Structure 1
Amino acid sequence: MTKENISTYFQGLQDDICKALESADGKATFHEDNWQREGGGGGRSRVIQGGNVIEKGGVMFSAVWGDLHEKMLASMGLTEKVDFFATGVSIVIHPNSPKVPIIHMNVRYFQMSNGTYWFGGGIDLTPHYVVEEDAVWFHQYLKKVCDEHDETYYPKFKTWADDYFFNTHRNETRGIGGIFFDYQKPHENRNKEDLFAFVKSVGEAFAPIYTHFMNKNKDLPFTETEKTFQMLRRGRYVEFNLVHDRGTKFGLETNGRTESILMSMPPMAQWVYDYKAEKDSEEAKTLGLLRKGINWV
């Protein structure tokens, strides 16, 4: 298995996911923007906007290479220059309805000319309103995906997601978590093919998971109060991505492609000074569930 094989697979995954989302939305289609990276490589940025269900979403593929940036060399404790190759698919979807959740997925592969390589990725869900039935279904689905490869994956990667997708400045999780993993390398019990098979299973779980929520919740009625709360929840999403997300921060600091990096931002969001949810309201219930360590399965 070569880096080219992995990259080609990710391109096909992007194609499959885009087709599934267009079909489930029933109106909007993806616009493709092909771009080249000055230092080597490029990508296909695909954005969908103004749909029946999806207000704005992106399914991004990239395969880039070249000299490893000094910031990343320093973060790895490396002193000698090395070349890198990185490829992956990254997705964020912002729906029209406050009853349909925001979703994020990323699957990626990274290797260096010194022989080091690893896989990373994950899926996490950010409902505007936490519906416990939906949270249980989502986590059960991810646990099944993980258990087919290694029964230690789900508890380990679920905890990793809780810890990573956390707005420390508000002491709340971004959503209901999911799974998150990084720096996954071969060891005595798993080889490169095993790791790639798991990453493929995670990537291929995205379309059935999100189209389930699109179809289940898209026609549910909502109020102006719920729409306002959606804008506030989007604001918290923006806060995480700009303040805490490693990928966003690294991309902007190293002169990455700004349009692709900021694809994850919602088209509209809102911040209300010193917002307080009404006691015993659905808004208060959701805010009370934005915490680590909830065992959904």
Structure 2
Amino acid sequence: MDFTSSAFFPAPTVQPRFRNTVEQWMRQFQDWLCQQLEAADGMGMFREDAWMHHSGGGGRSRVLTGGRIIEKGGVNFSAVEGQMSEAAARTLLMPDPNYFATGVSVVQHPGSPMAPISHMNVRYFEAGNGEAWFGGGLDLTPIYVEEAQARWFHRQIAEVCEQHNPAYYPRFKQWADEYFFLPHRQETRGIGGIFFDRLIVGQEADADSLFSFVRSVGEVYGRTYCELLRQNAGQPYTERQKQWQLVRRGRYAEFNLAIDRGTKFGLETGGRTESILMSLPPQCEWHYNFPIEPDSPEEATQQWLRKGVDWLTTSPAAV
């Protein structure tokens, strides 16, 4: 069954009930995605930790550790409401400090350096002044960039975007290049994907259309990432490759702690710290001037970590 189809979960038609409809889908999506990841891993199971937010609502944090493929993975659902501080509202460009927010946030850290780290989130906000919007995205952080797989990953995303709006992939791919970027390193976090924020209902598109797009983003993540896990998890690797993974995980941690908006939002609105920091890898390393040998696989990967790579049409010779 197509998880995103209207037969599985009808798009909302009554605006006052829209919040409940989106929240219910987010819960169901968390269930579905956990099932897909458990099947791909083949051994690990998610453990649930339910929590309540101090000002209203709560969530379900689900974490898988010590799986056959996934060393640490999280699929978190939340639906919270309240009033954020004036400073937090200003930072997050909230037109009113009263808010409702629901979403699912996902980060997966495989044990093997041959399998990529992945991130995805979909979210819905309502502000106290009546404005409502969607946000989200997905991106891939391979420890070693395999060009064919990177292009396949981007093609899957582009095809989904095309079904909703031909402008979405180029627009949101560029947004991801800009967002998933470490300015202090002058490198992208990985090979990117798409990122979008504040797609305001009634301005960007109607509520049903935006919700349909967000559902498609969730489905394409589950399908493509589970396939990449199956393809890569069984490959042999060396101690050098494992060390490179720990270094790249360090870059991932730098982004999530210093730049990521979701981390900032969670901490500034009094969210549950354990759930917010679920995205951090179980182990990582920082080395002073870590040596990268010329013409090595590590150097080849480092050269891909830049903005503006055309994963759909650029030939290898032109890169």
Pairwise TM-score range, normalised by the shorter structure: over 0.9
Instruction: State how far apart, in whole Å, the 1-side matches of 2:167 and 2:153 are.
Output: 18
Matches within 5 A, 1:40-119: 40-75=56-91, 82-119=97-134
2:223 aligns with 208
Q: Return the offset for 1:67.
A: 1.4
Partner-residue secondary structure (3-state), 1:148: helix
Q: 1:159 aligns with which of 158, 174, 188?
A: 174
Q: 1:242 aligns with which of 222, 247, 257?
A: 257
Contact 2:112–2:233 (Cα < 8 Å) also in 1: yes
Instruction: State how far apart, in whole Å, the 2-side matches of 1:205 and 1:19 are.
Output: 15
TM-score (norm 1): 0.96
1:221 aligns with 236
Instruction: State how far apart, in whole Å, the 1-side matches of 2:167 and 2:272 are.
Output: 36
Instruction: State how far apart, in whole Å, the 1-side matches of 2:99 and 2:203 are.
Output: 25
1:288 aligns with 303
Instruction: State how far apart, in whole Å, the 1-side matches of 2:268 and 2:94 are.
Output: 19
Gap regions ≥5 residues in structure 2: 1-11, 13-17, 313-319
Instruction: State how far apart, in whole Å, the 2-side matches of 1:10 and 1:284 are.
Output: 40
Question: Structure 1 residues 245, 11: closer, same or farther in 2, change over 3 A?
Answer: same
Indicate the larger mover: 252-261 or 129-138. 252-261
Instruction: State how far apart, in whole Å, the 2-side matches of 1:30 and 1:42 are.
Output: 18
Instruction: State how far apart, in whole Å, the 1-side matches of 2:117 and 2:54 are.
Output: 32
Q: Return the offset for 1:206.
A: 1.6
**Superposition CA RMSD, Å:** 1.4
Q: Return the offset for 1:249.
A: 2.4
CA deviation profile, 1:33-70 (whole Å, cap 9, x unmatched):
00001110000000000000000000000000011332
2:48 aligns with 32
Letter in 2 for 1:129: Y
Partner-residue secondary structure (3-state), 2:295: coil
Contact 1:248–1:261 (Cα < 8 Å) also in 2: yes
CA deviation profile, 1:154-178 (whole Å, cap 9, x unmatched):
0000000000000000000000000
Gap regions ≥5 residues in structure 1: none
Aligned residues: 296
Partner-residue secondary structure (3-state), 2:164: coil
Q: 1:192 aligns with which of 207, 220, 230?
A: 207
Q: Return the offset for 1:78.
A: 6.7
Instruction: State how far apart, in whole Å, the 2-side matches of 1:146 and 1:220 are.
Output: 31
